[in-house]
């Protein structure tokens, strides 16, 4: 059963892990707009010369009709070296629809742009699933969005977005810039009686070129929060971005390359 869940997680996540230079929080159940907003604001680009390691804390809170709450949280270890290689280690049991199980196998995601490969490591079976990441042509204003949505849907979504600058703050010793994006879902668009607003606040570090904290509030699903803590600017150990010698390497989750 654990191996099946790991395989399911591989199919869902290896594509994201393959392209994301910025660690992404686990998606809440049904959080389509959370995924869209994070993809729009995320830094899907190669980042060199800005190494770091940190703990990434992700939390999802949903309020039920009776006033009670469902809350899920997970802490992941993340790192990036000076060449842009990235690593994320977390519990599969805490990811998306797989959350809630008592069995929580660990998984490690490594993206190596130097080698042109991404890996999902299964420590339990000592297996490394390798894939070839998709190369995106990014729009600097809306990273990744043009590759993720049909053109008409993308234009319609952009028309319903409002962006506000929140100024600068200091978090964990880093200067961060705040942005609030509000997406309005018009009345009747999804069967809703009144207009709905999905609000994402993001605090971004220009030095690290990554999000330090973000919060998305969606009246349909709840509040999704993400924060980097215990940030170190030192160069991570090179072994973190390598497949251990005693692992079996298999092909899995491959993606064709998009045009340059």
Q: Domain with 54 in it: what CATH number? A: 2.50.20.10
Flag whether the pTM goes above 0.75: no
Of 10, 27, 22, 4, nearest in space to 218 by CA: 27
- Residues β-bridged to residue 87: 79, 110
Distance CA 173, CA 210 (A): 14
pLDDT of residue 145: 38
Residue 258 lies in a domain: no
Q: Is the pLDDT of residue 38 over 50?
A: no
Residue 36 lies in a domain: yes
Share in percent of the chain as helix, strand, coil (round to 5): 20, 40, 40
Neighbour-count burial of 203, counting CB atoms closer than 10 A to its CB (0-12 exposed, 13-18 middle, 19+ buried) = buried
Residue 193 lies in a domain: yes
* Cβ pair 131, 254 in contact under 8 A: yes
Return the structure tokens found at 87. 């690593």
Domain count, the chain: 1
- Residues β-bridged to residue 122: 127
Structural domain that includes position 70: 2-251
pLDDT of residue 109: 93
pLDDT of residue 158: 62
Work out the percent of the chain whose per-residue pLDDT is above 70: 64
Q: Is the pLDDT of residue 91 over 70?
A: yes
- Residues β-bridged to residue 73: 59
Residue 259 lies in a domain: no
Lowest mean pLDDT among 2-11, 70-79, 101-110: 2-11
Residue 257 lies in a domain: no
Residue 256 lies in a domain: no
pLDDT of residue 73: 87
pLDDT of residue 82: 96
pLDDT of residue 13: 44
Distance CA 166, CA 138 (A): 25
Between these two residues, 16 and 47, which has the higher pLDDT value? 47
Ranges of beta strands (E only) in 36-188 are: 52-63, 69-80, 86-91, 106-112, 117-122, 127-131, 161-171, 174-185
Residue 228 lies in a domain: yes
Residue 181 lies in a domain: yes
* Cβ pair 120, 13 in contact under 8 A: yes
Between these two residues, 152 and 235, which has the higher pLDDT value? 235
Mean pLDDT of 152-173: 80
């Amino acid at each position: 059963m654990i191996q099946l869940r790991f395989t399911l997680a591989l199919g869902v996540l290896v594509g994201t892990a393959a392209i994301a230079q910025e660690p992404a929080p686990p998606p809440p159940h049904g959080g389509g707009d959370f995924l869209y907003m994070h993809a729009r604001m995320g830094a899907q680009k190669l980042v060199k010369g800005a190494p770091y390691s940190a703990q990434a804390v992700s939390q999802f809170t949903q309020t039920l009709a009776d006033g009670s709450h469902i809350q899920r949280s997970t802490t992941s270890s993340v790192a990036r070296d000076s060449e842009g290689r990235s690593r994320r280690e977390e519990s599969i049991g805490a990811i998306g629809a797989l959350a809630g199980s008592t069995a929580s196998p660990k998984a490690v995601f490594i993206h190596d742009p130097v080698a042109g490969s991404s890996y999902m490591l299964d420590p339990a079976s000592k297996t490394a699933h390798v894939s070839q990441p998709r190369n995106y042509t990014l729009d600097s204003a809306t990273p990744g969005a043009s590759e993720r949505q049909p053109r008409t849907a993308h234009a319609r979504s952009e028309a319903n977005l409002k962006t506000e600058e929140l100024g600068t703050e200091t978090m964990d010793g880093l200067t961060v810039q705040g942005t609030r994006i509000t997406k309005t879902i018009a009345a009747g668009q999804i069967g809703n009686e009144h207009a709905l607003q999905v609000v994402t606040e993001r605090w971004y570090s220009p030095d690290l070129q990554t999000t330090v904290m973000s919060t998305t509030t969606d009246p349909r699903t709840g509040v999704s929060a993400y924060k980097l803590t215990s940030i170190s600017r030192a160069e991570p150990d090179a072994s973190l971005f390598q497949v251990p010698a005693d692992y079996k390497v298999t092909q899995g989750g491959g993606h064709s390359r998009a045009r340059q």
